[in-house]
């Protein structure tokens, strides 16, 4: 298992040229993603108001690539190059986790790992419950009220 002791440092990342592809999710939402590398797949799940590009500013992204992993970046619905949905219903019932599960199925991935930060940790924890293909996960930055149902 790769172990990196680096502080996370995310910066707003302006939208740049499109380097990835698009996937149509379960409810016709268009989701942007990028895949780089060729090893065991790891999806990186960004936090609130960020994009998949944010991970490129963090050492863990390059360390995973250098260690031989296939790294999948995704712009969660409402962020980056993915569709911007403006209703609560569009984000209800684990829609973001369903987007990831659909992308993993679309990419024909049998097993994968995940790294989630901030809101991405919450989404990743939902994947841990719902997706048997998820082998292991690293979650961080979810805040002290993470397990508080109120």
Per residue in 19-70, pLDDT tens? 899 999 999 999 999 999 999 999 999 998 899 999 999 999 999 999 999 9
Cβ-proximal residues to 126 (8 Å cutoff; 6+ apart), any chain: 94, 96, 97
Per residue in 91-112, pLDDT tens? 999 999 999 999 999 999 999 9
**What's the predicted TM-score (pTM) here?**
0.85
- Sign of the dihedral defined by the CA atoms of residues 34, 50, 5, 101, in that order: negative
Residue carrying structure tokens 């996370």: 8
Which of these, 12, 5, 42, 35, lies nearest to 140 by C-alpha position? 5
């Amino acid at each position: 298992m790769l172990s990196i002791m680096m502080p996370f440092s995310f910066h707003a990342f302006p939208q740049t040229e499109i380097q990835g592809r698009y996937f149509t999710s379960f409810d016709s939402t268009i989701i942007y993603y990028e895949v780089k590398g060729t090893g065991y797949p790891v999806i990186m799940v960004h936090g609130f108001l960020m994009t998949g590009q944010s991970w490129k500013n963090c050492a863990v992204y390059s360390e995973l690539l250098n260690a031989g992993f296939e790294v999948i970046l995704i712009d969660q619905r409402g962020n980056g190059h993915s569709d911007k949905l403006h209703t609560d219903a569009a984000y209800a019932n684990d829609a973001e986790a369903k987007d990831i599960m659909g992308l993993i199925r679309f990419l024909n991935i049998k097993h994968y790992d995940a790294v989630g930060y901030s809101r991405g940790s919450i989404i990743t924890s939902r994947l841990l419950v719902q997706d048997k293909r998820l082998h292991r996960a690293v979650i961080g930055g979810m805040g002290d009220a993470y397990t508080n149902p109120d």
